[in-house]
Amino acid sequence: MRLKRYLKLWLAFFRYNLQVLFEFRGEFLFWTINIFLWLAIGFLALELIFGQIETIAGWSKNEVYLVFFIASLFSDLFWTFFFINLNVFSHLIRLGHLDYILLKPVNQRFLLSFKYFDFDHLLRMVFLSYLIYRYTILTSGQLVFLNFFLFLLLFFCGVIIFYSLFFALTLLNIWFVNLSNLLDFFQEIRELGAKPIYIFKNFWFYLFSLIVPVGYIATFPAQALMGKIEIWQVAAAPILAVVFFILSDKFFHFALKHYSSASS
C-alpha cells in the first residue's frame, strides 16, 4: 500500500509537469532543438578526433560512439528526473519553503527528489536509445538479451550512485545556502563518464571505477552490451548503489538536524 501511494503521488507530479509543458510548447521546442545541436557538436568532435587516430585506449570508433551515446542518455535521464529537483533545493532554503516540505505527511527525500520533471530532453532520449541499439549491432553484430539485462542493471546502478552523490552534495546548501557551481561539477563528472575510463591507468582506473565510479555512467554499461563486461564490474554495481544511497540518506538526516528554518 505504501508503494502504491507513492506511485500515485509520482504520477500526479508527472501529470502536473506535463500540463506545464503543454502551456509552454514553444519553449519546449526551442530547448529540444538546442539539445539536439549539442549532441551533433559532440558527435562532430569525435569525428575530428578519429580523423587523426584509429582507437582510444584500445576502443574502436564505434565502441567510443557507443560510450558517448550512453553517457548522453545518462545525462538526459538525470536532467529529466533529478537535477531540476536538486537545483531548486537552495531556493527552498533561501525562501523558507523547505519548512513546508518538512511538515508534509510524506517522505521528505521523495518529495525533494521527484516533484519536478524536465521534459526538454525527452525526444533526444528516444533518439539516443535508437543510436545505442544501432551501435550495439555495429560493435557486436547482435543484441543479446543477457547483455541487455546487464546493461540495464549497470546503467541504473550508475543512476542511483550519482543521484545519491549529487543529492548529498545538494544538502551542503544547508550550510552554504547557494552552491551555484553544482551544475559545473555535474558536467565535469559527465564529461569523464563520456570517455572509456581505460584511458586511466593503475590507481586512477580503480578510483574512477570504485571510489568516484564514473565507469558506471557509460563505459561498463557499454561493455555489457558488447559482451565484454567482467564479473567484478557487475558484482560491484549493486553494492556501490546501495552504499551510496544509504550514506546519502544518513547524511540527509544529519543535515536536517543542522537546518535552521527561515523564520528562526
Residue 261 or 167, more confident: 167
Q: What are the residue boundaries of the structural domains of the chain, listed by start?
A: 2-257
Predicted confidence (pLDDT) per residue in 134-163, tens digit? 999 999 988 899 999 999 999 999 999 999
Predicted confidence (pLDDT) per residue in 179-211, tens digit? 666 767 777 888 888 889 999 988 999 999 999
User: Residue 128's pLDDT band (boundaries 50, 70, 90)?
Assistant: very high
Alpha carbon separation from 127 to 11, 33, 66, 70, 202 (Å, rounded): 24, 13, 13, 11, 36
By CB neighbour count within 10 A (0-12 exposed, 13-18 middle, 19+ buried), where does 232 fall? Answer: exposed
* Closest residue by Cα to residue 149 from 250, 65, 72, 224: 224
Q: Which cell goes with 232? A: 567484478
Q: Could you tell me the pTM of the whole model?
A: 0.90
